Amino acid sequence: MNSLLTASADLVLTVLVPLTDEVPDAEDVNTGWWYVLVFFGLIAATLLLWLSMRKQLKKIRFEEKPSSEADRDADDQGPAA
């Protein structure tokens, strides 16, 4: 098993790694304003989705049912004095 992993690693290092591109030049890599706008657009979309979910969750009304007999008996008797 170990020899198979070693052979696979040798294959990757000798054949596949040289096929990759070289590191790009510094002047070829830049962010630009479009990427900044996309980033802030994603933040705005996330905020709007969060606000919408919060609004929908506030609309939910449910009556919680007691889970055991002791809880039901305590609810039937009312608050303790």
DSSP string, 23-70: PPPGGG---HHHHHHHHHHHHHHHHHHHHHHHHHHHH---PPPPSSHH
**Confidence at residue 51, expressed as pLDDT on a 0 to 100 scale:** 97
Using CA atoms, how far apart are residues 26 and 44, in angstroms rounded to an integer? 31
Low-confidence ranges of the chain (pLDDT < 50): none
Model pTM?
A: 0.44
Using CA atoms, how far apart are residues 43 and 40, in angstroms rounded to an integer? 5
DSSP-derived secondary structure letter, 1 = -
